[in-house]
Amino acid sequence: MSKHQKTPIDPVVLVLIGIVFIAVAIGLAVIQSNPNTVNITNGSGTVSQLLVAFVTGLTTGGLSCLAVQGGLLASSLAHQIEQDYAEQVAYGKTHRRVKAKAPVHSNSALPIFLFLVAKITAYTLLGALLGLLGSYLTLSPTVRAFLMIVIGIFMLGNALRMFNVHPIFRYFSIEPPKFITRYIRRTAKGTDTVTPLFLGALTVFIPCGVTQAMMAAALGTGSMAMGAALMLAFTLGTSPVFFVVAYLTTELGSRLEKFFMRFVAAVVLILGFVTMNSGLNLLGSPLSVQNLSRNLLPSNGGYATETDSAQSVAANEGLTLQVQNNGYFPRTIKAAAGKDFTLNLITNKTYSCSRDFVIPALNFYQLLPDTGTVQVSIPAQEKGSTLYFTCSMGMYTGRIVFE
Amino acid sequence: MIKKTFKVPDMSCTNCAMKLESLEDTLDGVREINASYHKLEMVIVYDENKLTDDQIIAEVKKKGYQAILA
């Protein structure tokens, strides 16, 4: 096979993709079936959101960003290295005992550091702008759901592109306008302190897939401060990996770099799948992994039925749903078909996104108080139907089954 | 000045296209290069009196890619 001929789809890649999908589906199904899920988001919802953003940046965002933005940094570094080498050679000629060699690391730490400082600053400002924009747009859960699904598809497409599954996936990569890339390229030739700062700021024009998902989350906060904080946490998280890999990049060699890129592609694939799934939850779709698994697999318990609270029904007090930091309990409520009832949403020091309660089919969404009870009127539903409810992020889910 | 298209099938991301476009700053005789990762090609406008197709292919090879005249 000649060098430039595309290899057919690697069967190992297909198997890997299949395993990833199945593993995530099983993982979500197992977590949902156990009401005592380990909660890592105790405490303030704001802090947990920022922590999740930071961890996302630390684990996957750094490598994903490096794949897209690393070239900008490398351009500046390469010129710096060439400059250093030229100086060494010139020095070697006048001092013949000195052996000239490329000082790969001696001056690369500072430009990388400056690059990252500028990138963090630029993305924080972008986060603030997105949050401000989000406060005016007031995205409804349905719009947010479609946004998540679109972003999820975009991430899946990018991951499949990185796996080189099919040429069609090339089109999931965003090509910046030529005047921007030309400007960035010509600016990268500078070796002064300002150039890496300037290049770092310009990375906002070429966000990687994970960054774009975080930008959508910043838009969804509807708050300038929260949007800025989210992007700050995320880009801070990306920085250690970015710094280390960029610093060692000349030592990695092509084989290790290929391994990193495949790892990034696998993680982007998982994130894309999870994002799409969250969008489906927010739409109240029975096709999301949680809803599908709940419908197909028997639950370990956690039902509340109308018969369990017959007296409360008689007193028109309705059924109760505990809204806790780690989700909704019980996850499945059985109710009688054909009659209205009241659903009591009870919070008690609840700060996570579970407070942002949504019933997509009824177009009901409300931010619940952190402690208290909110009553929701549920109109009569047909026998055999299901109403799904979720948090505004599509993460915590549950259902009401009418019998 | 003439305009020619070269296929570059081993581009793997938009960064590769940027690398190829940098030749317009370093290669004498080139007026403009538009490289596309989506189309896996580069369109180059150059002075045929200063530069040949083989020289362009050689310079692209130095960047790590295979260029084929379309």
Which stretch of A121-135, A214-228, A375-389 has the lowest confidence by average pLDDT? A214-228
The more confidently predicted of residues A360 and A185 is A360
Rg (CA), chain A: 26
Q: Which residues of A touch B68 (CB under 8 A)?
A: 4
Say if A185 is an interface residue toward chain B (CB within 8 Å).
yes
Q: How far apart are CA A63 and CA A268, in angstroms?
A: 10
**How many angstroms separate the CA of residue B41 from the nearest CA in chain A?**
13
Tell me the per-residue pLDDT of A353-364, one tens digit each, with 9 for 90 and over. 788 899 999 989
Q: Which residues of B touch A3 (CB under 8 A)?
A: 10, 66
Tell me the per-residue pLDDT of A216-254, one tens digit each, with 9 for 90 and over. 778 777 788 888 998 999 898 888 877 776 666 544 555
Please name the residues between 18 and 47 in chain B that touch chain A, using a CB distance below 8 Å: 18-19, 21-22, 25, 34, 36-38, 40
- Give the model's confidence band at A93: pLDDT under 50 very low, under 70 low, under 90 confident, else very high: low
Say if A215 is an interface residue toward chain B (CB within 8 Å).
no
User: Is A71 within 8 Å of B68 when comparing Cβ atoms?
Assistant: no
Tell me the per-residue pLDDT of B23-45, one tens digit each, with 9 for 90 and over. 888 888 999 999 998 899 999 99
Say if B55 is an interface residue toward chain A (CB within 8 Å).
no
**Using an 8 Å Cβ cutoff, are A331 and A299 in contact?**
yes
CB atoms within 10 A of CB A53: 24
pLDDT value at A286 more than 80: yes
**How many angstroms separate the CA of residue B40 from the nearest CA in chain A?**
9
User: Structural domains in chain A?
Assistant: 12-282 (no CATH), 301-402 (2.60.40.420)
Sheet holding B2-7, edge to edge: B30-36, B41-46, B2-7, B68-69
**Closest in A70, A170, A186 to B37, CB measured:** A170
Stretch A388-403: mean pLDDT: 89
Share of chain A above pLDDT 90, in %: 17
Say if B66 is an interface residue toward chain A (CB within 8 Å).
yes
**Using an 8 Å Cβ cutoff, are A291 and A281 in contact?**
yes
Non-local CB neighbours of A203 within 8 Å, separated by 6+ positions: A65, A69, A72, A119, A122, A123
Q: How far is CA A60 from CA A216, A259, A363, in A?
A: 17, 14, 34
Stretch A322-350: mean pLDDT: 90
- Give the model's confidence band at A261: pLDDT under 50 very low, under 70 low, under 90 confident, else very high: low
Q: How far is CA A44 from CA A11, A47, A55, A236, in A?
A: 45, 5, 17, 20
Task: Tell which residue, A363, A370, A398, has the closest CA to residue A145.
Answer: A363
The more confidently predicted of residues A206 and A161 is A161
User: Is B18 within 8 Å of A71 when comparing Cβ atoms?
Assistant: yes
- Give the model's confidence band at A318: pLDDT under 50 very low, under 70 low, under 90 confident, else very high: confident
pLDDT value at B57 more than 50: yes
Residue A329 in 3-state DSSP?
strand
**Closest in B12, B14, B25 to A175, CB measured:** B14
User: Is B13 within 8 Å of A182 when comparing Cβ atoms?
Assistant: no
**How many angstroms separate the CA of residue B48 from the nearest CA in chain A?**
23
**Closest in A4, A182, A185 to B9, CB measured:** A4
User: Is A70 within 8 Å of B15 when comparing Cβ atoms?
Assistant: yes
User: Structural domains in chain B?
Assistant: 2-69 (3.30.70.100)
User: Is B66 within 8 Å of A70 when comparing Cβ atoms?
Assistant: no
Q: How far apart are CA A2 and CA A83, in angstroms?
A: 37
Q: Which residues of A touch B37 (CB under 8 A)?
A: 170, 173, 175
**How many angstroms separate the CA of residue A157 from the nearest CA in chain B?**
13
Share of chain A above pLDDT 70, in %: 60
Stretch A11-17: mean pLDDT: 48
In a mutational test of the A interface, the residue from B15, B24, B31, B32 whose CB has the highest number of chain A CBs within 10 Å is B15
**Closest in B9, B25, B38 to A6, CB measured:** B9
Q: Which residues of A touch B9 (CB under 8 A)?
A: 4-6
pLDDT value at A154 more than 50: yes
Task: Tell which residue, A272, A275, A13, has the closest CA to residue A155.
Answer: A272
CB atoms within 10 A of CB A328: 23
Stretch A142-147: mean pLDDT: 80
**Burial code of A385-400, b = ≥16 C-beta within 10 A, e = fewer?**
ebbbbbbbbbbbbbbb
- Give the model's confidence band at A273: pLDDT under 50 very low, under 70 low, under 90 confident, else very high: confident
